[in-house]
């Protein structure tokens, strides 16, 4: 009886502390997710099962395998997100790691300025970031087309990137690298500060080169941080919306559209919440399994 009372007190105390958080989690995460899943399996006539998902994969705006890597975009929102992941993820994670190491080793005044400029991308709202990207690649005043024009490159590289299907998606991805690399750099810098400096001193005494220190000490010890950065970056790339909405609105001709933008257009422009819910469920279906694999299994190993 005493053991039962003690256990009841423990559960009661846990419920008092966890209860408000669990209620908020149910109201703002679990219940909306279940409602979205329910909507994705319906249309205006009632329950239709997986019909909305089959319809999605027949839309060129979502998947266009006939053009993928054979012609210029549009390739479909799903393929655009995958291209975003393929280019953006390794560059931001790797560049953030390298810059964190460089900034930790080099003590110069200009290094602080460069670090501040890179960190500025993190604190810049993504809506503002989309406006900046749009004007960076603008044909008449954008610095990128003007610079490429002076190097002798013709259209579309020396013109407004956002006006051409060949360059619109690439311009958004390159611009987003600046907006996100600071996040990778900050987390890797925090991880570097936790590494025992005696490890590097011992490596120097043994005659290890800078590359050897980086390869055999820095990279292995920062692996947990790198996985966290990779997971967060991957999830951000799957739900990217604001940059695309402000800079191109998915244009020209759906050449830079992404899944989250198509979800918005279906729900609020076409007034089709069922298709919008299906796209949202599709994004979640891509996010949860891979995010679980990266963040849980790999980190435990």
User: What average pLDDT does the segment 24-33 reach?
Assistant: 88
Provide the H-helix boundaries in 124-252.
126-136, 143-150, 165-193, 197-205, 210-213, 219-221, 223-238, 242-247
CB 250 within 8 A of CB 257: yes
Q: Is the pLDDT of residue 154 over 80?
A: no
| pLDDT of res. 5 | 59
| pLDDT of res. 137 | 87
Classify residue 29 by its DSSP letter: I
Q: 72-271+286-300 falls under which CATH superfamily?
A: MetI-like (1.10.3720.10)
The C-alpha atoms of residue 16 and residue 22 are separated, in whole angstroms, by 10
Bridge partners (DSSP) of residue 47 are 42
Judged by DSSP in three states, 42 sits in strand
User: What average pLDDT does the segment 43-51 reach?
Assistant: 86
The C-alpha atoms of residue 83 and residue 63 are separated, in whole angstroms, by 13
| pLDDT of res. 80 | 93
| pLDDT of res. 4 | 55
| pLDDT of res. 84 | 93
Q: Cα separations (Å) of 282 from 78, 101, 256, 263, 278? A: 10, 37, 19, 10, 6
pLDDT band for 172, please (50, 70, 90 cuts).
Answer: very high
CB 159 within 8 A of CB 139: yes
60-86: pLDDT as tens digits: 899 988 888 788 888 999 999 999 999
For the purposes of burial, counting CB atoms within 10 Å of the CB of 172, is it exposed (0-12), middle (13-18) or buried (19 or more)?
Answer: buried
* Cα 293 to the center of its chain, rounded Å: 17
The C-alpha atoms of residue 4 and residue 249 are separated, in whole angstroms, by 61
User: Tokens in use for 93?
Assistant: 């994670």
pLDDT: is 110 or 40 the higher one? 40
86-135: pLDDT as tens digits: 999 999 999 999 888 888 877 766 666 777 777 777 888 888 888 888 88
- Domain ranges in the chain are 72-271+286-300
Other Cβ atoms closer than 10 A to 109: 6
The C-alpha atoms of residue 103 and residue 184 are separated, in whole angstroms, by 13
Q: What are phi and psi of 286, to 5 degrees?
A: -75, -30
Tell me what the pLDDT averaged over the chain comes to: 84
Q: Which of 88-92, 151-155, 189-193, 261-265 has the lowest mean pLDDT?
A: 151-155
| pLDDT of res. 68 | 84
For the purposes of burial, counting CB atoms within 10 Å of the CB of 201, is it exposed (0-12), middle (13-18) or buried (19 or more)?
Answer: exposed
pLDDT band for 257, please (50, 70, 90 cuts).
Answer: very high
pLDDT band for 147, please (50, 70, 90 cuts).
Answer: confident
User: What average pLDDT does the segment 39-61 reach?
Assistant: 88
Q: Which of 130, 144, 133, 134 is nearest to 240 (CA)?
A: 130
First to last CA, the chain: 42
What's the number of CA atoms in the CB half-sphere (13 Å) around residue 161?
A: 26
Residue 74: is the preceding peptide bond cis (ω within 30°)? yes
pLDDT band for 277, please (50, 70, 90 cuts).
Answer: very high
| pLDDT of res. 3 | 61
pLDDT: is 2 or 222 the higher one? 222
The C-alpha atoms of residue 226 and residue 139 are separated, in whole angstroms, by 37
């Amino acid at each position: 009886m005493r053991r039962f009372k003690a256990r009841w007190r423990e559960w009661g105390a846990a419920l008092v502390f966890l209860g408000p958080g669990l209620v908020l989690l149910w109201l703002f995460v679990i219940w909306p997710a279940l409602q979205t899943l329910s909507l994705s399996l319906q249309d205006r006539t009632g329950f239709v099962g997986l019909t909305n998902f089959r319809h999605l994969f027949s839309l060129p705006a979502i998947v266009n395998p006939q053009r993928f890597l054979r012609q210029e975009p549009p390739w479909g929102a799903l393929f655009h997100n995958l291209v975003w992941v393929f280019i953006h993820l390794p560059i931001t994670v790797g560049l953030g790691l390298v810059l964190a190491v460089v900034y930790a080793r080099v003590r110069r005044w200009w290094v602080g300025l460069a670090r501040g400029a890179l960190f500025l991308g993190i604190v810049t709202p993504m809506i503002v970031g989309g406006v900046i990207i749009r004007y960076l690649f603008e044909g008449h005043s954008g610095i990128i087309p003007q610079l490429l024009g002076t190097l002798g490159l013709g259209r579309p590289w020396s013109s407004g990137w956002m006006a051409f299907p060949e360059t619109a998606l690439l311009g958004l991805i390159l611009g987003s690298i600046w907006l996100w690399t600071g996040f990778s750099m900050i987390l890797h810098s925090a991880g570097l500060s936790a590494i025992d400096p005696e490890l590097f001193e011992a490596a120097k005494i043994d005659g290890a080169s800078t590359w050897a220190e980086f390869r055999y000490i820095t990279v292995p010890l920062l692996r947990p941080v790198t996985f966290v950065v990779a997971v967060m970056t991957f999830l951000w790339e799957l739900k990217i919306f604001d940059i695309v909405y402000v800079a191109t609105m998915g244009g020209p001709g759906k050449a830079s559209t992404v899944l989250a933008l198509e979800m918005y257009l279906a729900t609020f422009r076409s007034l089709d919440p069922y298709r919008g819910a299906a796209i949202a469920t599709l994004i979640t279906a891509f996010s949860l399994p891979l995010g679980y694999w990266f963040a849980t299994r790999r980190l435990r190993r």
